[in-house]
Chains A and B, each alone.
Chain A
Amino acid sequence: MTEYREPALLSREADDIKDRLNLPEGLHDLKAKERAAIPQQEMPAQEARIRAHNMDEVALGYTESQVIVEASRCLGCKNAPCVAGCPVGINIPGFIAAAAQYKFDEALQIIQESSILPAICGRVCPQEKQCMQLCTLGKIKKDPLQSVAIGRIERFLADHGSSHSTLDSKQPSTGKKVAIVGSGPSGLTTAADLARLGHDVTIFEAFHKAGGVTVYGIPEFRLPKSIVSREVENLEALGVKIIYDYLIGRTRTIKELMEKDGYDSVYVANGAGLPKFMNIEGENLVGVFSANEYLTRTNLMKAYDRDNAATPLYSSKKVAVFGGGNVAMDAARTALRMGAEEVHIVYRRTEAEMPARKEEVLHAREEGIIFDLLTNPSRILGDENGRVRGIECLKYKLGIPDESGRARPEVIEGSEFQMEIDTCITALGNSSNPLVTGTTPELEVNKWGNIIVDENGMTSMKGVFAGGDIVQGAATVILAMGDGRIAARGIHQYLSNEAQPL
């Protein structure tokens, strides 16, 4: 198990490196070889056995010296391969170079040209599969985890910065009204871009708080809610209106928004919030939850604060979480923090195939989550009161790769075994919620219920655009934001063309 070192110690080490390499303010002429030799800066974090019992953020963030040193590792590659790995194309070498010269505000501005949610992305993006995967330094070290820690630098800049200058540069009003369905990363991004272009933007949100999955799904210990609300406040300062407790498809349909309420265009970013179950015996027993329910109770409804919150949480001793993605890691680590004595991740492939961010898998292991790999539940066992008392599982082995290129898990016959468990959490992914599409037959969807859009984000319904998880299927924050930017451009173009008399 990793020993966590004191942030102060890590910072002192960084200071030493800074002195040794002679990195005073503004001066920066290291050779590539020297840069490559600088060790990657370790992220200060709470000690595993302590953090496993609190909701405070796990990773504490780089200190200033660490950022200077880490930024100095960047080779400033001319072709900047890292940028190609970023779904919104942030000028990565640009912002890192600015950071290395202590120009933190300027660095943040460079990021904000492409991304309005750096404090969120710096924490939750799967960097090792995106920018860091293509980073030259990682290639040299033959390990994407050893690339420049781009996200950690981004996080520092976002937390450090007070500048929101790019958010302020607002165009004169166009008199056009745009409605946005959902306040997740995708809706927020589109809202920011459109407001900056001078459109009158209103977000409709079903819940009582804005942020989508970032407030109801991703736990406080990974992404503090105060960070999301700060981003939302910035947006409101731009003039974006947010109407809460408003369910499109029920309170109003999309058609009504356009015909009755006079919206010129609508952006649908309602996410992919329909939990999948496994259709196995015992799935409706008391003690079986979708990760969505479990996480919504703890995050959005604050059930972790037992003295104050009115929403109850099931009390669990032995928990099994089914799945291997971020959602599974979040549910498992939350259950541990809520007082469970033993938490298992039950996943039918191996750790190499787990879709979760590497850092989360590592953190989960450190905190004492038990990984039952190559294992899948076949039924859930109940007691005489209809409550979960255990699960029956089958063992798997990896077979030949399927169309997706991943090894196909195959059942080992006769490998059934039972585990004593009192709570099951299914984290098998989400499919698209049919509430909006079901009440808007004009919207064309594919066989999974995802809305089909063209290259500008426009749907089959005139003036209606869509993006984020409802288009991509359960994806990532940054992809949802990328879609939001494309749609904002598409909507702006559509509204500008509409304005021209024919």
Chain B
Amino acid sequence: MIEILKKEQLSSDVYLMKLHAPHIAQSRRAGQFVILMMDDNYGERIPLTIADGNEVEGSITIIFQAVGGTTLQLSRMKEGEGISHVLGPLGTPTHIRKHSSPVVCVGGGIGTAPLYPIVQAFKAAGNRVITIMGARNKDLLILENEMAELSDELIICTDDGSRGRKALVTEPLKELCESDVPPAEVVAIGPPVMMKFCSETTRPFAVPTVVSLNTIMVDGTGMCGGCRVTVGDSTKFVCVDGPEFDGHKVDFNSMMSRMSSYKEQEKEHQCRMDALAKDHIKGGTQP
């Protein structure tokens, strides 16, 4: 059992949790993730990025969006309760370098969470970091203060203009590429479509662009091949070769269709689970 040390709700369906995992806290680096499981027998293994960590306290932080069965169940857990299984740190750490021109970090929606340790690491390496954060509206923005504190410049975009610029993140990204000091490197993390268009934006400027892929995973150790993606001419396993890849080489279309493999099953499953939950409530109130 891994104890939940702290829980906080960041927006309507986004949660932060601090977990007691000393071994993971000791070895984790920016860009790595964990796989967790809520139930020994019937649970599912889901990957979540390590958004932060504290070696002294022996803790790691995860930030997740409740989108389906397992993340919903996780969101209902309380401080002091335990999670059955947490495996990590997994994946290859981000390649952090010191550049002479700025590094631009782009986070879309929940993608801001995995971006956070990367911004931290680039900053610690002495880079000038410009962060672009995007969300549908102001209520869905997360980690704004933290990012503002870390970044040399923070650009906020919302789809509806409720905060910052009313624009997609690719707009300021393009402007930065066109500026006198174009970025030395761009890191973009968010929904696949966003990462795809960020990569398309930087391509004409030949600015190296790193994306972090969130494919479906089972083991996270290179054993099942379920997380594979086409990068350039080769097939890569996101869990061990990634999760970060050269955005100009990733075949996003095939990745997105692979991510939808279980859409129907998840939907049907969710309905069945909801029905089951209702039955329980009904059963409970009957004499």
Residues of chain A touching chain B, judged by Cβ–Cβ distance below 8 Å, are 206-208, 244-247, 250-252, 273-275, 277, 279, 283-287, 289-290, 292-293, 296-297, 301-302, 305, 307-315, 385-387, 433-435
Contacts and interface: CB of A to CB of B under 8 A. Distances in A.
A302 B42 contact: yes
A129 B68 CA distance: 48
B223 interface: yes
Contacts, number: 120
Contacts of B222: 273-274, 433-435
A284 B261 CA distance: 12
Contact of B42 (A274, A309, A312, A386): A309
A286 B223 contact: no
Interface stretch (B84-92, B101-109, B171-179): B84-92
Top-10 shortest CB links A-B:
A386-B257, A293-B224, A310-B44, A273-B223, A312-B265, A290-B225, A245-B87, A312-B262, A293-B226, A275-B225
Interface stretch (B119-127, B228-236, B279-287): B228-236
Contacts of A307: 272
Contacts of A207: 219
A293 B84 contact: no
Nearest to A294: B224
Contact of B24 (A251, A275, A311): A251
A250 B221 CA distance: 10
A236 to B, nearest CB: 16
Given A252-B27, A308-B42, A206 B221 contact: yes
A493 B15 CA distance: 53
Interface in B228-287: 228-230, 235, 240, 251, 253-254, 257-258, 260-262, 264-266, 269, 272
A284 B40 CA distance: 30
B70 interface: yes
Contacts of A252: 23, 27
Nearest to B234: A279
A184 B200 CA distance: 46
A387 B256 CA distance: 12
Given A273-B223, A315-B265, A208 B85 contact: yes
Given A208-B37, A247-B90, A292-B223, A286 B27 contact: no
A251 B45 contact: no
A284 B224 contact: no
A164 B162 CA distance: 70
A289 B27 contact: no
Contacts of B39: 310
Interface of A is mostly: loop
Contacts of B191: none
B44 A311 contact: yes
Interface string B37-62: 11111111100000000000000000
B184 interface: no
B253 A386 contact: yes
Contacts of A284: 228-230, 235, 251, 254, 258
B155 interface: no
A37 B254 CA distance: 62
B87 A275 contact: no
28 contacts: A208-B37, A208-B84, A245-B87, A246-B23, A247-B88, A251-B23, A251-B24, A252-B27, A273-B223, A284-B228, A284-B229, A286-B257, A286-B258, A286-B261, A292-B223, A297-B218, A308-B41, A309-B42, A309-B44, A310-B43, A310-B269, A311-B43, A312-B262, A312-B265, A314-B261, A315-B264, A386-B253, A433-B223
B82 interface: no
A82 B265 CA distance: 50
Contacts of B164: none
B208 interface: no
